[in-house]
């Protein structure tokens, strides 16, 4: 979501400004939303395997708690900065708001390179981070989750550390846990499933039948592979997919079961029998009905947007389309389903995990998927209505739905009422 000459925080604030202007948002609420309510910077001492002590810098940003506690992932990466964590927390507010989850946005990060740490060092760092922020998080305060380079094992260590500090089990303090300690069924497939639901709703609005509609998926990891499988179950023909090593295409449709076996055997989709090879650039420009970028940010740019050859772009990845490309696609009549709506299935099922933890009653995978579908369908309809009422693209419409909700809550709480 960032562009080269602006910081991520500036981009997030500009998006807020634009949505506020379309909504004629009360300037007092606008000013509250511009900065996170609370940002922590912590120094985490970690005993390294060689006996030395290394200090790692960590952050946690809590943007806005108007509608409920804050929620968002923890990123372990050498490039983490306070500014980036603040921006990511604002985007989490937008994402939770568009689905109507009872959360504001939060985000955390630790400046580290997990590839350079042993498992023991990683465990000590994960536990140390939670000790440093323990007084500021909790099931009704701020609920972390996995993000870049953090996984269910790391989350399990964090959950255990928090429980040790508090002296009782509080599984709802963090989501993305393994199933054995309160994780939710359906979480692994949730983002890809949400991508498929959003695509289906968009196709319906455009009068496009999904039966035999052609789809191209960039990135065949967690999000892309489930999105492909579920879109295929809905009747789509998946004609091309790619990973970091390159792309493959067969216009008659790919056999996804066989492809998954090939990926397991070889570590890549490349070389799957019966397909022609494509570069990732060629893949993005392949003629199709639905293009689903599920890899990295900044893939559809001003350079290739004129050559994108589809009717719908569903953003499985975060920030795959640059603002310049957005404008070109809009002008070419290509509908973009924005990331904060299209890939919100993950945070939605994280919310379900928290609900199950708080009630100590666990749902079947079918129940999880049905509830996910209901929330995605409702959110899509609300964004579509906003899109129809204003001269904006779907991305701006999604921000507007979200900010409206937060503004209403802030007003109801009296945050901008002058009393006495
Ligand atoms: P992943 O690591 O499981 O998969 C990423 C895929 O992209 C892999 O197939 C990888 O080979 C491919 N890839 C990497 N670099 C590439 C390149 N240069 N060109 C083409 N393909 C490339 O990651 P994921 O969890 O599926 O996440 C994908 C995107 O979705 C990210 O932007 C992530 O932030 C976003 N996202 C993920 C979730 C989630 O629940 N996993 C939720 C919301 C958003």
- Locate 146 and state its tokens: 């996995």
Q: Which of 218, 260, 280, 295 to mutate to test the pocket of ligand 1 (most atoms within 8 A of CB)?
A: 295
- Locate 17 and state its tokens: 């400004």
Confidence bin at 73 (pLDDT 50/70/90): very high
Ligand 1 centroid from CA 297, angstroms? 9
pLDDT at residue 7, as a whole number: 86
- Locate 254 and state its tokens: 């790919």
The answer on pLDDT for 420 being more than 60 is no
pLDDT at residue 57, as a whole number: 98
Positions marked catalytic: 107
pLDDT at residue 1, as a whole number: 44
Q: Is 325 in the pocket of ligand 1 (CB under 6 A)?
A: no
Question: Measured between alpha carbons, how far apart are the two ends of the chain, in Å?
Answer: 42
HSE value, Cβ hemisphere, 13 Å, CA-based, for 138 = 8
| Overall size of the chain counted in residues | 420
CB 216 within 8 A of CB 290: yes
Q: What is the pLDDT of residues 15-72, one digit of tens each?
A: 999 999 999 999 999 999 999 999 999 999 999 999 999 999 999 999 999 999 999 9
Q: Is 346 in the pocket of ligand 1 (CB under 6 A)?
A: yes
Residue 320 CA, closest ligand 1 atom number: 32
Ligand 1 centroid from CA 91, angstroms? 18
Calpha distance 396→19 (Å, rounded) = 6
Q: Is 402 in the pocket of ligand 1 (CB under 6 A)?
A: no
Q: Is 175 in the pocket of ligand 1 (CB under 6 A)?
A: no
The strand pair at 237-243 and 53-62 is best described as unpaired
Q: Which of 219, 248, 291, 296 to mutate to test the pocket of ligand 1 (most atoms within 8 A of CB)?
A: 219
Ligand 1 centroid from CA 165, angstroms? 34
HSE value, Cβ hemisphere, 13 Å, CA-based, for 3 = 17
The answer on pLDDT for 338 being more than 80 is yes
Q: What is the pLDDT of residues 200-247, one digit of tens each?
A: 999 999 999 999 999 999 999 999 999 999 999 999 999 999 999 999
């Amino acid at each position: 979501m960032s562009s080269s000459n602006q910081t991520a925080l500036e981009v997030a604030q500009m998006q807020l400004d634009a949505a506020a202007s379309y909504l004629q948002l009360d300037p007092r609420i606008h000013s509250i939303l511009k900065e996170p309510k609370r940002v922590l910077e912590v120094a985490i001492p970690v005993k390294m395997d060689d006996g030395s002590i290394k200090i790692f810098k960590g952050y946690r940003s809590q943007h806005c708690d108007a509608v409920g506690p804050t929620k968002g992932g923890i990123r372990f990466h050498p490039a983490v900065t306070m500014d980036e964590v603040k921006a990511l927390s604002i985007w989490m507010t937008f994402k939770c708001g568009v689905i109507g989850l009872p959360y504001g946005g939060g985000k955390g990060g630790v400046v580290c390179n997990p590839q350079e740490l042993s498992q023991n060092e990683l465990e000590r760092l994960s536990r140390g981070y939670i000790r440093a922020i323990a007084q500021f998080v909790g099931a009704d305060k701020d609920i972390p989750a996995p993000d870049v380079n953090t996984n269910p094992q790391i989350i399990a260590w964090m959950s255990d550390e928090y429980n040790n500090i508090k002296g009782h089990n509080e599984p709802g303090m963090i989501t993305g846990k393994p199933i054995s300690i309160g994780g939710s069924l359906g979480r692994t497939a949730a983002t890809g499933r949400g991508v498929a639901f959003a695509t289906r709703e968009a196709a319906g609005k455009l009068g496009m039948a999904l039966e035999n509609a052609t789809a191209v998926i960039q990135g065949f990891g967690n999000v892309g592979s489930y999105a492909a499988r579920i879109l295929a179950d809905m009747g789509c023909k998946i004609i091309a997919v790619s990973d970091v090593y390159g792309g493959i295409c067969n216009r008659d449709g790919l056999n996804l079961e066989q492809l998954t076996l090939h990926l397991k055997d070889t570590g890549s989709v490349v070389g799957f029998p019966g397909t022609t090879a494509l570069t990732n650039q060629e893949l993005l420009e392949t003629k199709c009905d639905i293009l689903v970028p599920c890899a990295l940010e900044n893939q559809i740019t001003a350079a290739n947007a004129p050559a994108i050859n589809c009717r719908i772009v569903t953003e499985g990845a975060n920030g795959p389309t640059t603002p310049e490309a957005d404008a070109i696609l809009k002008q070419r009549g290509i509908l973009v389903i924005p990331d904060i709506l299209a890939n919100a299935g993950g945070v939605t099922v994280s919310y379900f995990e928290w609900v199950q933890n708080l009630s100590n009653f666990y749902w079947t995978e079918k129940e999880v998927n049905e509830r996910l579908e209901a929330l995605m369908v409702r959110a899509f309809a609300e964004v579509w209505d906003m899109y129809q009422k204003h001269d904006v693209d779907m991305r701006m419409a999604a921000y507007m739905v979200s900010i409206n909700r937060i503004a209403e809550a802030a007003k109801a709480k009296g945050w901008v009422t002058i009393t006495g």
